[in-house]
Every structure is written in structure tokens, then in C-alpha cells.
Copies of this chain bind each other. A is one copy, B any other.
Amino acid sequence: MGEVRAKRMPRAVRERQMLDAAVRVFGERGYRAASMDDIAELAGVSKPLVYLYLNSKEELFSACIRRESAALVAAVRAGVSGAGGADRQLWDGLRAFFTHTAHNPDGWAVLHSHARTGGEPFAVEVTAMREEIVAFVTGLIAAAAREAHGDPALPDREVAGLAQALVGAAESLAGWAGTDPSVTAKEAAATLMNFAWSGLGNLMEGRRWSPAPGA
């Protein structure tokens, strides 16, 4: 009965606690609906301390975005070995993506659902991250196109559109997997991979993509 509030921790530790709490509350409620009181309470500190370390609600949210962006990008990059064909790399990246978002639903909600809503200041930060991922995927697709035939058969603009669609599909499936706990990261990745790589047309005819053995 009664939280024993840990006292006098070094700044770095407290700051981490605050960011953890903030991601959780922002993720659950969104930027506007989240209150600094709630964040402070969840972090186990008083509100003035939050302000002392993170200056304002806006900066706190920015810090959340930056941290979660970096974590997500890092997770995807780490998941992609670099070996194998473009399909294999895409498969690896998707698995890492779905695994990370499934393990960090609030962080993902901050990035996907809330950051784009908050108007100017955050859109900048989150768009930057999203574009980093889109660029990554774009690179994979272009590389795949070069693999298939020496010249880039697909014009840049089309590649961009495809990457956009792929990322959107991934985001949507992440939401699906987040909602229904029986959907595993691997299943989501497989679904998307089939969809993206083989296309509905092929699927209709019973042809489907599957990772090379051992993946």
C-alpha cells in the first residue's frame, strides 16, 4: 500500500523515467489529451521536475518522437542483414519492423497516430523519420529492379509511389497486429510479403512467395 517514491536519482535516470512515462501517456491519449500531471505522476516525480529537465510539453513530445524514431529505425536496420536478394532484405526488414512495433505499441502510436496530428512542429520530426524509412524501402525496390535487369525499368516516381504504398500497408498491418494479439509479427510480415511481392494476382492463382529456407 502506497508507492514508495524513490528519491534523489541521478538526472539521466530520472530523464529516462520521464520519457518512458511520456511515451506511454502520449501513446495512449494523444498529444492534446495527455496532461503533464498524468505524465509526472506516472513517472513518479513532481511536475516542476519534468519542466526542469524537459522544458515544456512540446519539447517533451519532441523528445519522445526523437527517441522512438531512432529506436524504430535502429531496429529495422539491425534486422536487415544485408545478405541475400532484395526480397530477403525486405522480408528481414518487415519482420524487424513488426516485431519492434508489437513490442513498443505506445512508441508506435506516438509516431504513427499522434505525431502527425500535432501540427507543424512535430510533423517535421516525424516526417523526417518516415521519409528515412521510405527512402530505405525505396532503395531496396530500386536495387531489386536493377537485380532483375540491368537498367532501372521503373521510373523514380513510380518507385516512390510503391514505397509509399508498402510503408502504408505495413503501418496498417502493424495496427492490425496491435489490435489482435493472436497475430504474430512473423505472420504479419508474411502476409505483407506475399501481398507485396507476389501481388494479389499471383496469390489468386495459388502462387505465393516464401522466404528461402533458414530465414
A interface residues (Cβ-Cβ under 8 A, vs B): 29-33, 86-87, 113-114, 116-119, 141, 144-145, 147-149, 153-154, 158, 161-162, 164-173, 175-176, 183, 187-188, 191-192, 194-206, 209
Contacts and interface: CB of A to CB of B under 8 A. Distances in A.
A133 B166 CA distance: 19
A206 B149 contact: yes
Given A144-B204, A164-B172, A191 B114 contact: no
Contacts of A204: 86, 144-145, 147-148, 153
A147 B125 CA distance: 46
A191 B162 contact: yes
Given A117-B117, A119-B29, A209 B202 contact: no
A165 B161 contact: no
A62 to B, nearest CB: 17
Contacts of A144: 200, 204
A117 B161 contact: no
Contacts of A195: 161-162, 165-166, 196, 199
A153 B192 contact: no
A179 to B, nearest CB: 9
Contacts of A33: 32, 118-119
A162 B172 CA distance: 10
A113 B31 CA distance: 13
A205 B147 CA distance: 10
